[in-house]
Amino acid sequence: MELMKALTHEWGFIVVCTATTFTVDQLAAAFTNLRTIVLANQDSSAEMGPGTLVLPLMPSSDISAARATFNNWITAYDDTNEEWDSDVLRDVFIILNDAAVESLLAVGGSTGEPWVVVVDAKYAQSGRARQDYTGYMRCLIRSLWTRSDELQNGDQGLEALSPARQYADQISLFDGSPREKVLEPEQPSKGMRIKFSRGTQRGGTGGTQRGV
């Protein structure tokens, strides 16, 4: 929290680490790769310069716990009556889970591009018009700057920017392109898949939604 009080014009995301199967050195290497890739893909003409990128880190266990940890931290910060002078997002954060860390440690390999989970801190499951929206999505790390700029300077939140899913076991992905993209599950559900139609859910209960 002391770090945030000292920030003025910086940009970035608060990072919540839920990974549990890696050593401290491996997590440090993944975090270094995260920062390097974000900066390498930043718009060189943007006001948000390389030296102003900050990625404050905090631990947690899963998405629900991470959201609670993040929101409690924001509330505690607000209780200090300190101004939030930076452009670090406070309604969206990113998660480094085991799969995301693995993708970061495999940079340069043949396992695909590294990614993180972008999470809507204000997500509430009930009363939503979009039943396919889960409050989080994958984002390629090379596209994090673009997503940050859209959320900081645009008029849409993460829900409006999230690709629509047709089936519950698909995963929304932002890769920096204007087209919507979803990933099919690595292990397809057995039986009938749960299908979304115009904001309502239909189909059998045999489908299960994979994690992020």
Model pLDDT for residues 147-197, shown as the tens digit of each residue: 888 888 888 889 888 888 888 888 899 988 877 788 887 776 666 778 886
Q: Give the residue among 142, 185, 133 at the shortest CA–CA distance from 164.
A: 133
Q: Give the residue among 133, 123, 65 at the shortest CA–CA distance from 92.
A: 123
Distance of alpha carbon 31 from alpha carbon 55, whole angstroms: 9
How confident is the model over 74-103, as pLDDT tens digits? 999 899 888 888 889 999 999 999 999 999
Do residues 38 and 122 touch, judged by C-beta distance below 8 A?
no
Q: For the chain, how are helix, strand and coil distributed in percent, rounded to 5?
A: 30, 20, 50
- Helices then strands (H, E): number in the chain? 6, 12
This prediction has a pTM of: 0.83
